[in-house]
A and B are shown apart, each in its own frame.
Chain A
Amino acid sequence: MKISNAIYSGFIIFLLLFIAFLYINIEDFEKKITQNIRDVILTNTSYLADNIVSIIKNSVGDEDIYTILKNNPQLRHQLESKMQVLVTPSFKFIYMLYKDKDGRYRYLLDGSKEDKAFFDSKFDVNEKEWNKVYATKKTNIIFQDDLTGLWITTLRPYMIDGNVQGVVAIDFSTKLLDIFSEIMKPMKEVFLYIFFAIIFLFAVILYQIIIQRKTKKETVIDPLTHAYNRVFLRDFIDKIDFYHYDIVMLDLDYFKKINDNYGHKAGDFILESFVGLVKKNLRDKDYIVRFGGEEFLIFLYKERKKQSSAIHTLERIRKRIENYNFVYNDTVIKVTVSIGLVDDMHKYKTIQEVMKKVDERLYAAKHSGRNIIIDSDVSSTNMVQTALMEIEKIKLAIDEGRVFCHFQPIVEIQTQSIVKYEALIRLKDEDGTTIYPNSFLDAIEGTNIYRDMTKKLLEIVFEQTKQKQVAISINLNLSDIADNSIYTILSDELLEHKLYANYLTIELLEYETVLNESLLIERLREIKSYGVSIALDDFGSGYSNFSIFEAFPIDIVKIDGSLIKNIDTSKTSYSIVEAIVRFATNLEMDVVGEFVHNEAVLHKLKELNLQYGQGFHLGKPQEII
């Protein structure tokens, strides 16, 4: 399309130049013709004037012409008759004047057919021009263009013995030039019309090109962030020599939480602002592409003399994002970014290899603590390799069915009987060693692996409830409820096992910051409609907020182990637990004390009438119920 546009434009420009060339040539042609006509007229007039002078001289001889003509009216009549013969519509007036002693011009002869003047009568002329003839003794020609056409007056001196005795004047008038100009006018107009038509055509094509480019640009630009999109990327990576670029992949850390906690509009705002900030650190030759939801690619053009500029640019971007306050609806949101960089292009043969490597390095950055840049130097460290290996291991464990649960009993304190189990997820590595959640949950958070693992957990738990008819609780983050994909998994499992759903308790974690409250309430109510109980886990630690009970349908409060474990020695812990128990009892909620690790603690819980307890003293987690 570009080539055809270029051909069209080239052709039109050629036509424009050609028409302009023809138009200029016509103008030139007209000027030359006009000049030729003038020359012909002047030549003819000059010959005519010479002939008239000859005729007069033949009749008058070398005598003083005024005296001869004054005294000989018959001679005047003869000469005027001869002059009259020469008068035509073009040679309009032929006459002869002389200058009297007062400097006035008077008639000697008048060959005019009309408007004929008497001998010696005054005639007002352009004295300046006429005097020139007397002064120079040479022919003078006066040009005058007026509305009626071209006037040429030829003034030919009549000389006797080197003195000017009179001036023969011929007034030539013609409309020939105007007629010629009129003939040429339509031709010139045609060229002008063609010229403007082509300009119009050119403008239309130009407009089309602009529209086409604009449309094309719109198809390759992400409307939210104004970064390029994948459509652009496909075309771009085919065209470029990737050795000229450092290729970067960026991912906003914990972006899902921003969407969950602040809503999708806030997420959109962060993405748009993020790209704006990044662009400020890029040059015209650099490109930023939105690769996925919160994942971006940057192609940093390599300057020949600046080998290490990429890492500096990226570090600047990373720090800028880290320090920037994203203010959405008066709320400051902090964001960090993990970055993978491929700056060792010589190692790769294809762009696909580069893309795979940059993806790996971003992954490594994600699982090396986030908010860091992984480039060719860093990615060779053990830390990164370990992180990458862990991910692979977790994925493999799920695929090979090496996910299992330990179940820790929850006991009714007064009767010491087990009422429920808390399912605690575990992995087995290839040699059978148990891997605990603190070794893998952070690594897979926000990934599909995390979702797969949640599904696996639910499957295990429902299998146990079906077999053993026992109540089991599982742990989920509040943000998991807000996450559409996890909520869908949960809903599907509940629907499939709705006969056993009333055995399930969901212990909510990380509920300190609650946004999207209405959505969460709606979903929790939906979950509870299956008979599922909702517990608040680790209550009393961190920034636990009592207002959560106002909004959410909570059935059970699990008091954090940090308060329980010292309840036998710490008056403060005792008072806090006492207050929580009183509060929960008033709201008709069950209370579970965690971390019951000795008899003294258990005794204190009994004293406080706390209903349920959990901890090593009451029962260790075990693989089989």
Chain B
Amino acid sequence: MLLEASIEEAGYPGGFKVRNIHLELDEGEVLLITGRSGSGKTTLIRAITNTIGIQGGFLHGEVYVKGRSIREYKPGELAKRLAYIPQEPWYGIIGYTVGSEFCYTQLVTSGVCDMRVLAEAGLNGREDFITYGLSAGQTQLLLWAEAMAAGAEVIVMDEPFVYLDEENRGRLLGFVGRMIREGRGLIIVDHNPSHWRSLNPRLIVLDKGVVVYDGDASGWSVEVPETTVKSKRKGRVAVEARDIWFKYPGYSWVLKGVSFTVEEGGLTVLVGGNGSGKTTLLKIVGGLLKPTRGRVTTRGRAIYIPENPLAYYSMPTPREELMYMARGDESRFLEAVELFDLRGILDSKLSNLSSGERRRLAIASAYLGGFDIYLLDEPTGGLDAYNVARVLEAVQRLLDEGKTVIAASHDSRLKGATDRIFLGGGGL
């Protein structure tokens, strides 16, 4: 037995809790945890990885890794047995170069640094490269390399597909297959269990902090809400990009001669692999970056909503943000609250909102700002089907009002929601 968890209760004082959860993970086994946003997946993972205390939480119960309580391990010892790869992989890095990050982790967990594993992750020759310049996919591969080099027997992955393009997904599945063959155990949190069906995992479904299904993955099905939008194209050009070239300092060209037009009143999805320049292109359209060569013309005012909308807001609560953007107009404020279904979160702190709530609020706020072109960066990344549908409802509201929406994403659900895709490969 690699891992055994008997959790009577784990969570945050006065806040959310998971209850009565019993898990076992054997050699070569895959345990898949799923559930809607807010169902307790992250809290459970924090309890298993012994990080819940860092977030001010508690664990009543025991988690054993290789028969020993996680509380008895020294930090480096536990990391050698159990590796945790977060959904946002860039948070899992402290080293400024690939080599320093990789070696620092190995020296803490194993006491030695063997760079050969980096080659298996496709990062050979990049030891001196700054980690800030890695794409999300490359960062995740670096964390994988660290987990493999440490010899971790239990790998915990939170939404591992969110930031990976098709090529890197294939690479990740290769790693997973190898882990299983080597007798390691995997705990995977994913809002979409179908990603892992071929591995025949044991599935645990959480809802409101308790297990509602525990069994074979093939025995569970989930109703997927409708996720399509209806564009109301007017035939007029909202955005025209001609021969756009762009490079960041110290890097090679990200965009090479990109040209496209976007009509008013539609949803256009920019699709491309990791590091292909989707976000860069959005920022160029919004005027946040100046192209090295080429020209962008827009009809109307544009707004950019980043992947983490915290950078977008101006006020500390949703109510204040919406009132601020409505310039104190109570009727417009109420209209946006109803239109984007935000009544339940108006007085929450922005930092306490879920990813989906943050994105819907930012769209509502921008709507009140009267913008014409909405540039959304990964608006559905990491969201379950239910929340994707709600974000797309918010997008639909914009389209109904005749607004233009351009989203950068490699989420296949978003691609499927529209009829206008701008596809790029090897640089857009």
- A, B in one complex: no
List residues of B whose CB falls within 8 A of some A CB.
none
A residues contacting B by CB (< 8 A) are none
